[in-house]
């Protein structure tokens, strides 16, 4: 199958970690379903089953939970080159704790769990790719957890700026506040005091 532009983004990402033959690439790409979501549109709502993991080609998604007081807590943003889902629901097919929603108009490539597992059998190098992604995501998440326990709000903001430089001036302040775990007013004071 001819490679299209969205797939090219993924192929560039793959080639950072593994090297696939043309046949293997075609087999993989044939299982990816292009999907577009408009800003504020959901890929997954809290309580649904996450059928797919989504590769971000362009745009930006957020994965978040809403607490019993209605406050939104952002687990992560997914910018181009990242996969996003509610991993727990994707693996176990239990109800998702997270919602996944577009922060901007976003172009995605969707991969179902059953297709992913089948591909692991057919193309072991793909299992390597996802093993490496899982390792990196675990490192990032552990670091974020330790940051939340040990850093001040100002330090967490500085870490956010290093982690997502492309988002700092591009997304609403309240989303950054929700990621850092402070009110937008408090974040404004941190930024003013910089």
Residues that bind a second copy (CB under 8 A): 65, 67, 71, 73, 75, 87-88, 91, 97-98, 120, 124, 127-128, 130-131, 134-135, 137-139, 141-146, 148-150, 181
- Taking CA 36 as the corner, what is the angle to CA 33 and CA 41, rounded to the nearest 5 degrees? 125
Question: Partners of 33 in the beta sheet?
Answer: 110
Nearer to a second copy, 37 or 126 (CB): 126
Q: Please, what is the minimum distance in Å from the beta carbon of residue 97 to a second copy? A: 7
Nearer to a second copy, 36 or 113 (CB): 113
DSSP one-letter string for 72-97:
EEEEEEE-TT-EES-HHHHHH-PBPS
Nearer to a second copy, 10 or 123 (CB): 123
Give the long-range contacts of residues 77-80, CB within 8 A, separation 24 or more. 77/103, 77/164, 77/167, 77/171, 77/175, 77/179, 78/54, 79/164, 79/166, 79/167, 80/9, 80/56
Terminal C-alpha separation, the chain: 51
Nearer to a second copy, 107 or 176 (CB): 176
Q: How far apart are CA 192 and CA 48, in angstroms?
A: 40
Q: Please, what is the minimum distance in Å from the beta carbon of residue 173 to a second copy? A: 18
Q: Please, what is the minimum distance in Å from the beta carbon of residue 55 to a second copy? A: 17
Nearer to a second copy, 88 or 112 (CB): 88
Contact 74, 98 (CB under 8 A): no
Q: Please, what is the minimum distance in Å from the beta carbon of residue 144 to a second copy? A: 6
Q: Please, what is the minimum distance in Å from the beta carbon of residue 170 to a second copy? A: 23
């Amino acid at each position: 199958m001819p490679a299209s532009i969205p797939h090219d983004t993924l192929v560039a990402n793959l080639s950072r970690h593994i090297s696939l033959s043309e046949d293997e690439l075609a087999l993989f790409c044939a299982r990816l379903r292009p999907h577009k979501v408009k800003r504020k549109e959901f890929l997954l709502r809290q309580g649904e089953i996450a059928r797919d993991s989504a590769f971000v080609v362009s745009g930006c998604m957020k994965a978040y939970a809403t607490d019993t007081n209605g406050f939104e807590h952002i687990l992560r943003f997914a910018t181009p080159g990242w996969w996003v889902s509610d991993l727990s629901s994707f693996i176990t097919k239990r109800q998702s704790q997270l919602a996944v929603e577009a922060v901007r108009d976003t172009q995605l490539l969707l991969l179902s769990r059953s297709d992913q597992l089948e591909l692991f059998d057919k193309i072991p190098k793909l299992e390597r790719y996802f093993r490496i992604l899982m390792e990196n995501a675990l490192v990032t998440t552990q670091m974020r957890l330790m940051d939340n326990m040990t850093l001040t709000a100002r330090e967490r903001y500085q870490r956010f700026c290093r982690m997502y430089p492309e988002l700092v001036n591009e997304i609403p302040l309240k989303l950054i506040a929700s990621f850092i775990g402070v009110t937008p007013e408090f974040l404004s004071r941190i930024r003013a005091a910089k």
